[in-house]
């Protein structure tokens, strides 16, 4: 039986990951199935490092292969900020709305051609024996001056995909998963399992 635990406290991510992986595993667990696990300490310097820090202790504690996603928005004109600090850009415990507000403030006055950015996602797959692999994906876009759409989560309402003329919050989860940083990273993970690895 193919089992996987998805170690994230972010409901938006969990929804997307569930949609992408549900048909592939016999059982997908989430952190709520294991309420006594300690919180991850995300003090790594890269997305990959933080993804492993979230997944490895959980895999070891539960005995179940575990994935975690560390992701964020990388803005060219802000020298890569907010990057690995995307979830807490406006301060620890900040909401998506507060982070978006701060981003808009930092980007005030930037012209269209200075508003390019990409999302980066590192997915770590860790096993109870202590081994880990990572898979990454990116998605390019342009940041708008005001939010559009109410789907998705995080910075989605500001993130325009020029090819579609829509923000990620306007595209719907299925389309988003087909093109997103997270969708691409998880596609690589699916391929890894399809080749008979990790069983």
By the criterion CB under 6 A, which residues form the site for ligand ITT? Answer: 8-10, 13, 42, 54, 69-73, 86-87, 99, 119, 152-156, 168, 180, 182
Query: Which listed residue (39, 43, 70, 129) is catalytic?
Result: 70
Residues 134 and 77: beta-carbon distance below 8 Å? no
Q: Which is nearer to ligand ITT, 182 or 184 (CB)?
A: 182
Q: Known catalytic residue: 129?
A: no
CA dist., res. 42 & res. 56, Å (int)? 12
Chain centroid to CA 68: how far?
9
d(CA 32, CA 134): 23
- Minimum separation from the CB atom of position 15 to ligand ITT (A): 11
Between 92 and 113, CB nearer to ligand ITT? 92
**Nearer of residues 42 and 49 to ligand ITT, judged by Cβ:** 42
Closer residue to ligand ITT in complex, CB, 2/41: 41
Of the candidates 11, 178, 171, 161, which has an alpha carbon nearest to the alpha carbon of residue 87?
Answer: 11
Minimum CB separation from ligand ITT for residue 23, in Å?
A: 20
Nearest approach, Cβ of residue 131 and ligand ITT (Å): 21
Q: Identify which of 132, 156, 138 has the alpha carbon closest to the alpha carbon of residue 53.
A: 132
CB atoms within 10 A of CB 18: 12
Residue nearest to ligand ITT (CB): 154
Q: Which residues are marked as active site?
A: 70
């Amino acid at each position: 039986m193919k089992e996987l635990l998805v170690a994230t406290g972010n409901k938006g991510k969990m929804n997307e990951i569930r949609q992408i992986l549900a048909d592939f595993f016999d059982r997908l667990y989430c952190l709520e199935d294991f309420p006594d696990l300690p919180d991850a300490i995300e003090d790594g310097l890269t997305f990959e490092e933080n993804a492993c820090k979230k997944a490895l202790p959980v895999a070891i504690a539960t005995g179940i292969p575990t994935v975690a996603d560390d992701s964020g928005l990388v803005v060219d004109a802000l020298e890569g900020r907010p990057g690995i600090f995307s979830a807490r850009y406006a301060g620890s415990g900040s909401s998506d709305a507060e982070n978006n507000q701060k981003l808009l403030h930092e980007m005030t006055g930037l012209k269209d051609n200075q508003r390019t950015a990409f999302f980066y996602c590192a997915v770590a797959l860790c096993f109870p024996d202590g081994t880990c692999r990572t898979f990454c994906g990116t998605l390019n876009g342009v940041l708008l001056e005001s939010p559009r759409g109410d789907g998705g989560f995080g910075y989605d309402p500001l993130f325009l995909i020029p090819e579609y003329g829509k923000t990620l919050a306007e595209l719907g989860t299925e389309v988003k998963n087909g093109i997103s940083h997270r969708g691409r990273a998880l596609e690589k993970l699916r391929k890894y399992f399809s080749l008979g690895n990790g069983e």
